C-alpha cells in the first residue's frame, strides 16, 4: 500500500501494456463498427449501443493508465470492480441526462447507460481474468 509506481519514463509493467493494448483493441473495434458493421447490418445493438459499450471499457482503461503513470501512490489506481462501475455509471448518467441540456442534438436513452456499464463490466472481467492488480 505505501509503495509507488516507477517514476521512470520507460515503464514495462504488464498493467500498462495490457491497458494500452486494450485501448488499441477498442479503437479497432470502433473503427470496424463505424466503417463496416453498421453498413452491413441493421442490428439495433450494433447500430446504437456497441460504441457506447466500448466507451465504458475505453474510459476505465484510459483512466487506469492515467492513474498508473501519475505521481500518486498505486492505491489510486481504480482497482475495485465497484469503483469501476461507479465511475462508468456516473459518466453515463452525465452523458445521458445532463449533456442533453447543453448539447442540442443529444437525446436521453437509458439503454445507453446500461451499455456504458456493460463496458465497465467487460473491463472488470478482463482485469480479473488477467489478474492485473
Per-domain boundaries in the chain? 14-130
- Distance of alpha carbon 29 from alpha carbon 54, whole angstroms: 8
Contact 55, 23 (CB under 8 A): no
Q: What is the DSSP string of 51-71?
A: HHHHHHHHHHHHHHHHHHHSS
* Model pLDDT for residues 86-127, shown as the tens digit of each residue: 999 999 999 999 988 998 888 899 999 999 999 999 998 988
Q: Using the CB atoms, write b or e for 56-80: b if 16+ within 10 Å.
A: bbbbbbebbbebbeeeeeeeebbee
* Model pLDDT for residues 33-77, shown as the tens digit of each residue: 999 999 999 999 999 999 999 999 999 999 988 888 877 666 567
Amino acid at each position: 500500500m505505501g509503495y509507488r509506481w516507477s517514476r521512470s519514463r520507460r515503464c514495462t509493467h504488464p498493467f500498462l501494456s495490457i491497458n494500452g493494448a486494450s485501448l488499441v483493441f477498442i479503437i479497432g473495434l470502433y473503427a470496424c463498427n463505424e466503417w463496416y458493421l453498421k453498413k452491413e447490418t441493421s442490428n439495433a445493438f450494433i447500430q446504437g449501443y456497441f460504441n457506447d459499450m466500448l466507451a465504458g471499457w475505453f474510459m476505465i482503461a484510459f483512466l487506469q493508465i492515467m492513474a498508473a503513470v501519475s505521481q500518486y501512490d498505486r492505491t489510486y489506481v481504480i482497482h475495485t470492480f465497484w469503483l469501476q462501475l461507479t465511475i462508468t455509471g456516473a459518466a453515463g448518467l452525465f452523458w445521458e441526462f445532463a449533456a442533453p441540456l447543453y448539447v442540442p442534438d443529444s437525446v436521453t436513452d437509458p439503454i445507453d447507460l446500461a451499455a456504458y456499464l456493460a463496458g465497465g463490466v467487460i473491463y472488470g472481467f478482463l482485469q480479473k481474468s488477467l489478474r492485473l492488480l
